[in-house]
Structure 1
Amino acid sequence: MSSTLPAFTDLNATWTFIQPGLEFILGAQNDQGVTSTMYMNCYTAVYNYCVNKSRRGSTPQSIASNTENNSYSLAGAEIYSKLELYLVQFIKNLKKQPNESFLEFYVRKWTRFTIGAVYMNNVFDYMNRYWVQKERSDGRKDVFDVNTLSLIKWRNEMFQPNHEILINQILELIERQRNHLIVDTNLISTSIKSLVFLSIDIQDLKKPNLIIYVNSFEKPFLDATMAYYLKESSEYLAHHNVVDYMKKCETRIAEEISRSNTFLEDHSKKSFINILNKSMIENHANEMYDQFLILLQQNQIEDIQRMYKLLSRVPKTLDPLANALEEYIKREANSVIEEIQKQSEQEIKDGKKKAIEPKIYINKLISIYNQFNDIVIQAFNKDTKFIRSLDNACRYFVNNNCIALPKPRSPCKTPELLAKYADVFLKSSSKDSDIVDMNSDNLMIIFKFINDKDEFEEAYRRLLARRLTLGTFKSEELEESVIHKLQEENSIEFTTKMTKMFSDMKASEDLKLKVKSKLANEQTVKEFTPMILAQASWPFTLSKSFDLNIPEELQITVNTLKEVYSSQHQGRQLKFLFNHGRAELKANLSKKGKPAFTFSVSSVQFMILLAFNHKATYTIDELHNKVGGEKHVFLAHLSALTKHKLIIEDGENLTIVEEYKSKKLKVNFVSSVKSTSLNKDEEEEENNDIRNEINESRKQFLQASIVRIMKSRKNIAHNSLFNEVQLQSVNFEVKIIDFKKVVDDLIEKEYIRRDGNGYEYIA
């Protein structure tokens, strides 16, 4: 290349001067680079031509004239045209070597060409900044800066005529890499990146564009990926088990993601991941479902977790898995509970126990929950779908099993057994060794799954009432903590009556101190615990069978109690629940020099024994008239005393013994009453009271809910009303037959009336 610059007015001389330099810049001379002198000479020649050619006119005189007027016409079209023709010819003359593939040739030449295009763009910098910009601002969309022009010519002359062979060789190389053969990854990444650079929007050069990349590479690549993994996965599963296949999937997906990060554009990654998921996971989800139950039976947590992670890549495939888990839990739970029932029935038959133990039943429910809850946590990463499946399964087997529903349409026994379970670990008489695995947290696990929470509340409240009145609770703090947890899980209203029961106990203690203070100088009963229980909160009912006569020994105490209470609460009426009363009395019926006996007795037994303070022998009728109450109740409690020979029965005469023979100084006569037929009658009556109270409470709730909904909606269809009532009922499951009865009652009371297939509110 000559070092003497050409005349600035001579286009051909200028092009002849710079062409050898462009050859070196673009690497035509065996990749020999351009020198700095050659580079600067090319730049100067182009600059001189464009600057001086821009002046209007071509003669020295016209140039001088234009200089005076400071008028210019930008030049560059002629040299731009020559550059276009040169680039086309240069690219066409590029030849691949005999021993290289087209892909290798393409990448080698593309790499050198794009480097040169950047330097060449600088050589024509003046033309780019003035003439090219002027032409494009005038609307010429076929004029580009030199670097962009170079890429367009490469696209037209090199890529488009050869794009099929290029893409095929890229895909072949990717497949070889998938087959774990050694490949030059630079060939893949560079060739694909070139497609991004060649995706030029000639209307707006600044606008991101991937049209070449998407149309030429992305679609064939995704199709090839789908075909490859459909074939591989089917062939692999034909000769391997599902667990091995899942491990293979994990490896393959990790490899593909790592590989794709080196050459895929972000635009393709989502579609690419979907292809991997569909070909390897979604298309073989059924095979995984079939293996799932086997893995559950074998407790293969790691493999279940692997299955979950794979299927979670396609969220819709998780639903069948969650459903399978739910059904499996139901079956396993029913199988376990049936085994408990068989064992319990055999023990009852052998006379080892009278009924199924709440502890065994509830602990088994808890163990089933804990077993599968651990699986949900470890294998399913606490996924809400699987938490819901576990909850649904637990709610089913807690309320629907052979122990909970021994007979069709019978009330579920789980709420009652759960209340009795709580009673065991809350009683002071329970041994720590027997209740080591029983606590309020376990209670709450099952509580949240029972449908009829109102039945639990009623049963629990009755047992709580007994613990409080008999003083058999372990600690007040423990009792209140359980109630607090019940309140948190449900509502304040749910525990209102229980909370009031504790308030009554504390108020009764204050009343006791005041009465004792007033009786300090009286010769009467000194040790007593009056319990003033609000009828609305406590589950006790007044029994006419226990209408006892208050003996004279108690008259002063009872009258004082009434007087003190009435002074604090005017207008309230006291009623005595003798059927729930207990007493301890000292009996001087032992040998001389021996301590007195302490008898634990019922209220009826207490009245009977006090009667013998006045004389030693009564006829049965005389004693009954003195004690009071219905005769069958009197005889039932009396039989416990005669059975243990505290009272001697001689025909119609009853005589207290002068010396009672017992190895124990403390004797409990109350427990003997429990074995009588009277107790069974009372238990049946109590169960009927419980059922009636629950039914009445539900009826009131349904009435209030329906009226509230109707008042708001005015008109509503039958099914819609039923569904809304169901949503509002959190403490029991609404049965359609009960719903219809309440609706009929409200229609009769003229709160609502039928309107076609629905109802209308009557204001």
Structure 2
Amino acid sequence: MSQPFPIASDLNATWSFVQPGLEFILGSQGDQGVTSKMYMNCYTAIYNYCINKSRHGSSAGSTLGGSHSSNSSNNSYSLAGAEIYNKLDQYLVRFIGGLHKEEGESFLEFYVRKWTRFTIGAGYMNNVFDYMNRYWVQKERSDGRRDVFDVNTLSLLKWKTHLFNENAELLIEEVLAQIERQRNNEIVDSSLISTAIKSLVFLGIDVQDLKKPNLVVYIKHFENVFLERTAEYYQKESSQFLAEHNVVDYMKKCEARLAEEVSRSNNYLEDHTKRFLLDTLNKVLIEEHAQGMYDSFLELLEQYQIGHIQRMYKLLSRVPHTLQPLADGLERYIKEEAVKEIERITAATEAANPTGTVSGAAAGRKATGVSPKLYIHTLLTVYYKFNDVVTSAFSRDPLFIKALDNACRHFINKNPVATPTPKSACKTPDLLARYSDAFLKATSKESDTADMSTDNLMIIFKFVEDKDSFEEHYRRLLAKRLINSNTKSDELEESIIQRLQEENSLEYTSKMTKMFQDMKSSDDLKNSVRDELATNNSIEPVKDFTPLILAHSMWPFKFSEDYDLKLAPELESSFNKLEEIYHRKHNGRQLQWLWNHGKSEVKANLSRKGKPPFLFTVSNVQLMILLAFNKKNTYTFDELLEIVGVAKHTLESHLLPFTKYKLIDAPGPGQTKYTIVEEYKSKKLKVNFVSSIKTEVKQEEDDTNKEIDETRRNYLSACIVRIMKTRKQMKHNELVNDVATQALSRFRAKILDIKRVIDYLIEREYLRRVENDTYEYLA
């Protein structure tokens, strides 16, 4: 392009001058590019033409030497470019139509090679026609012309119309073939795929708004077909792979395939497609084969294959609705495993104790003979095992935490030990309370409590449905520990009560808290009695006398006429002084002695000479028996009965340990007298006769169950009255459902019990029935 610039007003001369440069710019001369001089000459020629035509637009046919007045010149100025624009349009059509493949070249290779060079040239060409773009094209588009475009856009549209549209199907088929080869682990040139797909994005031009992104070409010609082919490919591959391999191998294959597709999508897919691709892969590879994973899940659980379970969870979590059946399967499996574990320990216990009898050392075991510790630790073993599964394999997904909680709630409250018959109450609260008692007793062996903890107690408590039953059993055992000074640690006791309160409510532990307050008040009273007895020389005080003043409504003890004990003369002065001091402080209150509770320590000089005396731990009844033997060595049973004052069967049960351990000689055949030994031959200096007393376990259980039932009736009554007072009128079913829901925090209320309480409140005129199965509150 060494010839002189053409005449600025001559269109044909200008185009003839520019066209050779455009050939170089667009690459028709091979790899030889345009020089900077050639580039500037083209730009200048087009600029000169547009400027000249703009100045003389109204007299475009006049010669360069023509003259015009100044007024005519001002009125004739207009933007030019239509003629050169049309020339460029026709040139691009001819240029694109003249592109041809090289020998041995695939269409994809040809397309990518020419597209790459053409788009580079179009960018440079756009700069060459910069003046036309900035003035004429912009003016035309602002005037509403949507068939006029900047040179770069015009080039892309011509490419789309005259090359892509005519060969789109062939191009996409070759791209998809390359992708399939890549999936088959064949080596392909991924840059060809990437460039071809990206060209579809560039060709998606919205002629109404050139700045608006438009993927219509990409979606129509590539995305839809790509997703269909992907689904077909992996449906075939997954079915064939599963027919030849197990589920674990398939899951590994899935992970690898998903990772490959994600990497591939990052290389050449638009973000719009990535989501649909993942949905397609998830459906074909995971959702359609989820049942196979479910079928293998139980086997993996049995083998405790945490890694494979985690792999299954991660795959299924890509399709969230497929997780629910997995969680349901986990819940069923936990329930089944718990039953197996409990049946195992039950069978082992029965084998060890075939007669079904319960020894004194195993007091607190139920009919099954399973000890509370073994039972609770079996439940904990199941919980901890599957809690680890939920944590490690399922990343503590709330869905699987819920499944674990549901399963635990089921097997803790309904299992062969807890509910041996459909009509019996759940025994887990009782066994948990006894487990706690063994943990908190000061007399428990350290080796027996080494693996027991507050956390263990609270884990099981969280799942216990009848929390009111646990509270009653726990409170009764706590009361015994307190009055017998048998607590391991007051701080530990109070910390557990605090944990129970946090888990439930302040009201739940109110009685237990009051029990500790009573113990502290009793200490103050004891000190007052001791101080007054110390200043009164006429009264011989009992050494270490510790009276316990207990609030009747807070403590689970009731007065029994079977224990209407006659106080020994040696003790009367101290007890009378206590009552005097108490009534002085609390005028009008009544004291009722519970002789069936508490214990005493007695020093017995029944050993050989030169040896220290024995220290006996005895009940209050046993204390009166021994004090009677201070007066003489032999009594008939009737004489002891008259002296002690308790019921006949009560005296017999408290005498039995003395005769059993040969402190008192039992009457022989035809005899009726009891004689205390002169010399006791126990190898131990400390002897506990209390632990051998035959207690009325059945009666205690009945009392506990009666107390629980009464408390529940009162609670349900309060719930119904509270609800009806607010609502005034309610349908029967609504009232029953509301009451049952409110009661859940304490126990699972039976519908029949709620109905009975409603009938009771109707009789008491708190409620009345009105029409349509409705109740009305009566103020």
> What range is the shorter-chain TM-score in?
over 0.9
Q: Relative to structure 1, is the Cα distance of residues 412 and 123 closer, same or farther in structure 2, using a 3 angstrom cutoff?
A: same
Give the match's secondary structure for 1:199. Answer: coil
- Conservation of the 8 A alpha-carbon contact between 2:301 and 2:309: yes
Q: CA deviation at 1:646?
A: 3.9
More displaced, 543-552 or 56-65?
56-65
Give 1:133-532 correspondences, 5 Å limit. Answer: 133-349=138-354, 354=359, 355-521=369-535, 522-532=539-549
Aligned to 1:19: 19
Give the match's secondary structure for 1:719. Answer: helix
- Output the amino acid matched with 1:167: I
Q: Relative to structure 1, is the Cα distance of residues 252 and 547 closer, same or farther in structure 2, using a 3 angstrom cutoff?
A: same
Aligned to 1:39: 39
Aligned to 1:666: 686
- Output the amino acid matched with 2:690: V
Q: CA deviation at 1:270?
A: 0.7
Q: CA deviation at 1:114?
A: 0.6
- Output the amino acid matched with 1:132: V
Q: CA deviation at 1:502?
A: 1.5
Give the match's secondary structure for 1:586. Answer: strand
More displaced, 429-438 or 508-517?
429-438
Give the match's secondary structure for 1:519. Answer: helix
The percentage of aligned residue pairs carrying the same residue is 62
- Conservation of the 8 A alpha-carbon contact between 2:339 and 2:411: yes
Give the match's secondary structure for 2:452. Answer: coil
More displaced, 588-597 or 396-405?
588-597
- Conservation of the 8 A alpha-carbon contact between 1:66 and 1:72: no
- Conservation of the 8 A alpha-carbon contact between 1:469 and 1:531: yes
Is the counterpart of residue 738 in structure 1 residue 753 in structure 2? yes
Q: Relative to structure 1, is the Cα distance of residues 95 and 761 closer, same or farther in structure 2, using a 3 angstrom cutoff?
A: farther
- Conservation of the 8 A alpha-carbon contact between 1:2 and 1:17: no
- Output the amino acid matched with 1:32: Q
- Output the amino acid matched with 1:671: S
Give the distance between the partners of 2:275 and 2:579, measured in 1 at CA. Answer: 82
Kindly report the root-mean-square deviation, in angstroms, between the aligned alpha carbons of the 2 structures.
Answer: 2.0
- For structure 2, list consecutive stretches of 5 or more residues without a partner in the other structure: 360-368
- Output the amino acid matched with 1:248: K
More displaced, 685-694 or 429-438?
429-438
More displaced, 298-307 or 723-732?
723-732
Give the match's secondary structure for 1:57. Answer: helix
Give the distance between the partners of 1:62 and 1:149, measured in 2 at CA. Answer: 37
Give the match's secondary structure for 2:175. Answer: helix
Is the counterpart of residue 6 in structure 1 residue 23 in structure 2? no
- Output the amino acid matched with 1:558: F
Q: CA deviation at 1:571?
A: 3.0
**1:587-620, Cα deviation, whole Å (9 max, x unpaired):** 3344444433322211112122223444555554
- Conservation of the 8 A alpha-carbon contact between 2:331 and 2:406: yes
**1:454-473, Cα deviation, whole Å (9 max, x unpaired):** 11111111111111111122
TM-score, normalised via structure 1 length = 0.95
Q: CA deviation at 1:208?
A: 1.4
Is the counterpart of residue 130 in structure 1 residue 131 in structure 2? no
Q: Relative to structure 1, is the Cα distance of residues 713 and 115 closer, same or farther in structure 2, using a 3 angstrom cutoff?
A: farther
Give the match's secondary structure for 1:367. Answer: helix
Aligned to 2:364: none
Is the counterpart of residue 94 in structure 1 residue 96 in structure 2? no
- Conservation of the 8 A alpha-carbon contact between 1:524 and 1:553: no
**1:493-532, Cα deviation, whole Å (9 max, x unpaired):** 2222112212211221122112111111332213111111
**1:711-733, Cα deviation, whole Å (9 max, x unpaired):** 33344443333333232221211
- Output the amino acid matched with 2:18: I
Aligned to 2:604: 587
Give the match's secondary structure for 2:692. Answer: helix
Q: Relative to structure 1, is the Cα distance of residues 254 and 648 closer, same or farther in structure 2, using a 3 angstrom cutoff?
A: closer
- Output the amino acid matched with 1:741: R
Q: 2:766 aligns with which of 733, 736, 751?
A: 751
Give the distance between the partners of 1:357 and 1:182, measured in 2 at CA. Answer: 68
Give the distance between the partners of 2:683 and 2:601, measured in 1 at CA. Answer: 18
Give the distance between the partners of 1:608 and 1:26, measured in 2 at CA. Answer: 123
Give the distance between the partners of 1:643 and 1:102, measured in 2 at CA. Answer: 108
TM-score, normalised via structure 2 length = 0.93
Give the distance between the partners of 1:94 and 1:758, measured in 2 at CA. Answer: 89
**1:63-84, Cα deviation, whole Å (9 max, x unpaired):** 5525763762111111111111
**1:182-210, Cα deviation, whole Å (9 max, x unpaired):** 11101100010011111111111111111
Is the counterpart of residue 84 in structure 1 residue 89 in structure 2? yes
Q: Relative to structure 1, is the Cα distance of residues 80 and 741 closer, same or farther in structure 2, using a 3 angstrom cutoff?
A: same
- Output the amino acid matched with 1:745: Y
Give the distance between the partners of 1:159 and 1:68, measured in 2 at CA. Answer: 47
Q: CA deviation at 1:428?
A: 1.7
More displaced, 200-209 or 702-711?
702-711
- Conservation of the 8 A alpha-carbon contact between 2:317 and 2:323: yes
Q: CA deviation at 1:422?
A: 1.4
- Conservation of the 8 A alpha-carbon contact between 2:122 and 2:151: yes
Give the match's secondary structure for 2:353. Answer: helix
Give the match's secondary structure for 1:52. Answer: helix
Is the counterpart of residue 574 in structure 1 residue 594 in structure 2? no
- Conservation of the 8 A alpha-carbon contact between 1:26 and 1:112: yes
Q: CA deviation at 1:352?
A: 8.4
Q: Relative to structure 1, is the Cα distance of residues 206 and 599 closer, same or farther in structure 2, using a 3 angstrom cutoff?
A: same
Give 1:638-717 correspondences, 5 Å limit. Answer: 638-648=655-665, 651-674=671-694, 679=695, 682-717=696-731
Give the distance between the partners of 1:195 and 1:563, measured in 2 at CA. Answer: 104
- Output the amino acid matched with 2:346: Q
Give the distance between the partners of 1:102 and 1:752, measured in 2 at CA. Answer: 89
Give the match's secondary structure for 1:599. Answer: strand
Q: CA deviation at 1:19?
A: 1.0
- Conservation of the 8 A alpha-carbon contact between 1:177 and 1:183: yes
Q: Relative to structure 1, is the Cα distance of residues 57 and 473 closer, same or farther in structure 2, using a 3 angstrom cutoff?
A: same
- Output the amino acid matched with 2:693: V
Q: Relative to structure 1, is the Cα distance of residues 570 and 17 closer, same or farther in structure 2, using a 3 angstrom cutoff?
A: farther
Give 1:113-124 correspondences, 5 Å limit. Answer: 113-124=118-129
Q: Relative to structure 1, is the Cα distance of residues 656 and 182 closer, same or farther in structure 2, using a 3 angstrom cutoff?
A: closer
- Output the amino acid matched with 1:22: L
Aligned to 1:110: 115
Give the match's secondary structure for 2:603. Answer: strand
Give the distance between the partners of 2:93 and 2:724, measured in 1 at CA. Answer: 83
More displaced, 297-306 or 608-617?
608-617
More displaced, 551-560 or 15-24?
551-560
- Conservation of the 8 A alpha-carbon contact between 2:429 and 2:470: yes
Aligned to 1:549: 566
Give the distance between the partners of 2:186 and 2:502, measured in 1 at CA. Answer: 63
More displaced, 618-627 or 297-306?
618-627
- Output the amino acid matched with 2:381: S
Give the distance between the partners of 1:151 and 1:180, measured in 2 at CA. Answer: 34
Give the distance between the partners of 2:666 and 2:168, measured in 1 at CA. Answer: 117
Give the distance between the partners of 1:733 and 1:628, measured in 2 at CA. Answer: 44
Q: CA deviation at 1:181?
A: 0.6
Give the distance between the partners of 1:753 and 1:107, measured in 2 at CA. Answer: 88
